[in-house]
Chains A and B, each alone.
Chain A
Amino acid sequence: MRSRIIGSLIVKDNIVVQSFGFKNYLPVGDVKICCENLNNWEVDEIIITSIDRSKYNLGPDLELIDEVSKSGISTPITYAGGIRNLNDAEKVISKGADRVCINNLIMTNISSIKDIALSIGSQSLLASINIIKSNNNFFWFNYINKNLLPIESIPLDLLHYVSEIIITDVNNEGSDDKFDLKVVDITKKIFKKKKVIFFGGISTKKKTSLIKEKIINSSYAIGNFFSHKELANQYFK
C-alpha cells in the first residue's frame, strides 16, 4: 500500500511559518503560493493549520480558505484552526476546504464533534492530537494553555466521528527527522486500527518506512522540510 504524503502548512499571523516544537517560528511566505507549489508537486493532500485562531478565539480563517480554494489548485485541502462549533465547520467546507480538522474543540466542546460529523460527514472530519514527552512520560498536549494531560484522557468516542487522526510529536516538530517512533507505539495502543497521519520531524523516506513497519496504513505530513529543497516530495518516493 502506497503511503500518502501530505504537505503541512503552519500559518501564523497570515503567513506560512516554519514551526519548531510549538515554540519558535521562522517566516516562510505566502499561503497561496505555498499551496500552489505543493499542488504542482502533486502531493496527496495539503493541511493548512492556522495556529493562532483558537488562541484568540478568532474562528476559522474563512478569507484564507476562500483565497486558496479560488486559486485553482486541485489538491484536496484540509483546514485546521479556530473551529469552535458546527457552524464554523460548515463555513469552512462551504468556503472550499475538502476536510476539516479539529484540535482544541476536542478539549472544549466534545459534544459538538458528533454534530459536525453528522453534518459534513465523518469522511470530512479529522482530529488532531498533540503528543508531548516530559520526564520520560508521554502526555496529550494542550497547545493553548500548555497543559499536559494524561494520554488516557483522550476521548475515544472521537474515533466514531472522525475519519483520520493527525498525531503530532510536539518535542520533535520542525526537527530534522527526529520524529520519535515511541509516539507510533502509543498511537497504536490507543487508536488501534484507526487511520493515522503522523507529523513532526519526519524528513526522510527511511523514517516513513520505520513508521510503516509499525502501522501499515499510516500517512505522513511534512512541514518545514518541504520548503528547504526543490521537489522535496521526491525524497519520499
Chain B
Amino acid sequence: MKNKLQFCVRCLYSSEHPLNITFNEKGLCSGCQIHEEKDVLDWSERLEKLKKIISPYKTKKGNYDCIVPITGANDSYYILHLVINVLKLNPLLVHYNSYFNTQLAIKNLTNLRIKFNRDIIIKNVNPIKVKKITKDSLINLRSMYWHVLAGQTVFPVQASIDYKIPLIIWGAHQGIEQVGMFSYTQEVEMTRRYRKNHDLMGCEATDLIKPYQNLKEEDVFEYFYPSFKDLADVGTKGIYLNNYFRWDPKWQHEKMIKLYDYKTSDLNRTFDTYDYNHCYNYMDIHDYIKLCKHGYSKVTDHASREIRFGRISREQGLELVKIYETKKLKFSKLFTQWLGIKDESLNYLFNRFKNPEYWKRTNASSYEQNLLSSKIKISKRKDTTKKKFFFIKTDKINLDSQPKYIIFGKGYEN
C-alpha cells in the first residue's frame, strides 16, 4: 500500500525519504522534531554523562582506549578533536580505503595523522575483488557505493574484535540527523540491524552470495560482520558523539579549518564544500544514482540541515536544490575507466535506475524530470530576507593535477 506523498512544513524532506520518516499532526517531520532537541537539551550535562560512559574503557597509558573510524573528511577531524582533546582518550584510528580517493582526501588524511599524531590501520581490500563487488552491486543493488558503505561500517567492528578494543566512537548517527529516528536522549548505539537496513540498503555481504551468481564467499568475506558471539565476548559497543555534543557540521568544520588547517573544496552537486571532498564519486555518480532512484539528491540533505539550523530559509533551500541537483556529472569517466566498462553501459544503468515516479520516459533515451523538488509548495509570502550564507573553499579536490583516483597515497606537501 503506497502512502500519500507528504512534505515537511519546515524542511525539504518528503514521506519518500529512503531512511523512512514520520510526521506529527502539524506536518513537521521526525527529523525536524528531533532537531529541536539540539536547542533544548543541556549539552554540558550530556557531556558529563558521556564521560561516565567512557570511563571504564580508559586503559593504562599507552594502550588504546577506543577505535575511531575515519575517512579524512566527514567530521573525522572533529571526532578526533573531541576524542583526544575533550574526552582525553587514546584512539586507534581505522580507515577503509575506498580507492575513489581524491588528491585532497590524501592531503587531509595525511594532515590529520600529523596533527593528531595517532596510530592508524588502513584496510586495503584486493582492488580486483572491489571491482567485482562494485560491478555486482551496481547491477543488482543499484549502488556503486556499496563496498565503501560496507567497508567503512564493518572494518571498525572487525578491528574491535581483532584488537579486543570494545569501544568504537562514531560521529553522527545519520538516522538521527536526517530523519530523527531516535531521540538524542535514547543514546542509541551502533547495531547490525541499522547497518543492514539503512547503510547497506538491506543487503549484507552474506546476502551477495547467491547460487549461480558472480560473487563467491572468497570475494566478499572481508565485509562479513562479526558474529554476535564475538561481539558479546569482546563487549563491542559503538557510541555516537552526536548524542552527547550539539552536532552542527558547518560550525564544526569551520572550527577544524581554523584549528587544524582542514582543507575544503567546491563540489559539483552541492553547496557544502566540507563533507565529501575525499571522494570523486560520493557527490558525483553515487549522488546522481540517488536522484535517479529517489527523486532527490544530497543537496536536499544539506539544504534541509541548513534550514533546520536557521541559516537559510526554506525558499533559499529549495532554490539551492534546484540549482545543484541537476548538475551534470564530472567524474563518471574516471569511474568507467576504473571499473572497465563503457560510458554507454553506465548511462544504460542510470536509465534503468530511473524511478518512473520522478522520471517520465519521453523517447528511447530521454526523460522528463518530475523530481520531488518540483512538487514542493512554497508559501505565497515572498521571502525578502535572504540570509547570508557561505561555505569556505580552500582548494580543489584534485588539487593542481588532473583528476584521477589515488589508489594508495602517502601524502601531499603543502
Contact = CB atoms under 8 A, between A and B. Distances in A.
A149 interface: no
Contacts of B183: 26
Contacts of A29: 20, 193-194, 197-198
**Chain B interface residue count: which class?**
35 or more
Contact of A28 (B34, B181, B185, B237): B181
Interface string A83-117: 00000000000000000000000000000000000
A40 B24 CA distance: 33
B198 A25 contact: no
Among A26, A33, A58, the one with the most B-chain Cβ atoms within 10 Å of its Cβ is A26
B202 A30 contact: yes
A217 to B, nearest CB: 28
**Interface SS majority for chain A:** mixed
B385 to A, nearest CB: 32
Nearest to A226: B193
A14 B190 contact: no
Contacts of A3: none
B22 interface: yes
B341 interface: no
A229 B191 contact: yes
A135 interface: no
B1 A231 contact: no
Interface band, chain A: 20 to 34
A40 B231 CA distance: 13
Contact of A34 (B19, B188, B193): B193
Contact of B30 (A27, A224, A234): A27
B232 A30 contact: no
A37 B192 contact: yes
Interface in B19-39: 19-22, 24, 30, 34
Centre residue among B22, B190, B236 by max chain A CB count within 10 A: B22
Contacts of A36: 193
B3 A230 contact: no
A18 interface: yes
Interface string B195-239: 011100010000000000000000000000000100110001110
B401 to A, nearest CB: 42
A28 B228 contact: no
Interface in A218-233: 224, 227-231
B173 to A, nearest CB: 11
Contacts of A24: 24
B224 to A, nearest CB: 14
B22 A25 contact: yes
A176 B183 CA distance: 11
B187 interface: yes
B69 interface: no
Nearest to A28: B181
A41 interface: yes
Given A27-B19, A33-B193, A228-B189, A18 B182 contact: yes
Contacts of B179: 27
Closest 8 CB pairs of A and B: A27-B20, A37-B193, A29-B197, A33-B197, A25-B22, A15-B20, A229-B189, A230-B191
Interface of B: 1, 3, 15, 19-22, 24, 30, 34, 175, 179-183, 185-194, 196-198, 202, 228, 231-232, 236-238
